[in-house]
Amino acid sequence: MEHIIRKMKKEDIQQVQQVAKTSWNHTYENIIPMEVQESFLRSAYSDEMMQSRLEHSYMNVALVNGNIVGFANYSPVQEGGKVELYAIYLYPEYQGKGIGTSLLIEGIKSLENVKEIYINVEKNNNIGKTFYISKGFEKVSEYDDELDGHTLRTIRMVLKV
């Protein structure tokens, strides 16, 4: 599918918030209670948090026909070339069309001296796990994480670049 990947701009915030909400609700429908999802999204994707992400992390958006259909959010490169991939989210109807792969590849190309990319994936998020495994990510560990009183089984994965 024809798409464009570019750096996120301040005027993209609303569209990115909508992608995050739709993607989360679709992905975690039977995994995380809706009230926990909504609380997380209000906090993690508030206008203030989005502005902070723009200023302190690396964000790309994916556009199809001029509309944002997905995004990726990376930490700055840390000591030893380590990077956290906070999110690759796409509208459900755009998954499986190469856009997530483009967001990953563009992140790798744009982050200087990156050697390892780490991601945390909820164990029951089969869409995410399948994607990351297909891109060469390997499981590092598994642990319980708390999100607003809800226990998540989290898998930590790494991609060696």
Which CATH number belongs to the domain containing residue 111 in this structure?
Answer: 3.40.630.30
Over residues 57-71, mean pLDDT: 97
The predicted pLDDT at position 36 comes to 94
pLDDT attached to residue 107 = 93
- pLDDT of 148: 87
Residue 132: partners with Cβ closer than 8 Å, 6 or more residues away: 119, 121, 157, 159
Q: Residue 61: CA atoms inside 13 Å, Cβ hemisphere, count?
A: 22
Predicted confidence band at 62 (pLDDT cuts at 50, 70, 90)? Answer: very high
Angle between helices 34-44 and 13-27 (to 10 degrees): 160
For residues 149 and 64, the model is more confident at: 64
Give the separation between CA 152 and CA 104, rounded to whole angstroms: 24
Which 3 state secondary structure label does DSSP give 57? coil
Tokens 């109807």 appear where? 93
Cα gap 74→58, rounded to integer Å: 5
Average pLDDT, integer, range 39-43: 94
SS3 131: helix
- Number of structural domains (the chain) is 1
Give percent above pLDDT 90 in the chain. Answer: 95
| Mean pLDDT to the nearest integer, 4-20 | 97
pLDDT at residue 140 is higher than 90: yes
pLDDT tens digits along 89-138: 999 999 999 999 999 999 999 998 999 999 999 999 999 999 999 999 99
Range of the domain at 16: 4-160
Indicate the average pLDDT of the chain. Answer: 95
pLDDT of residue 1 exceeding 90, the answer is: no
Note the Cα 128 to chain centre separation in Å: 9
Name the CA radius of gyration of the chain, rounded: 15
Q: Quick one: average pLDDT of 47-59?
A: 96
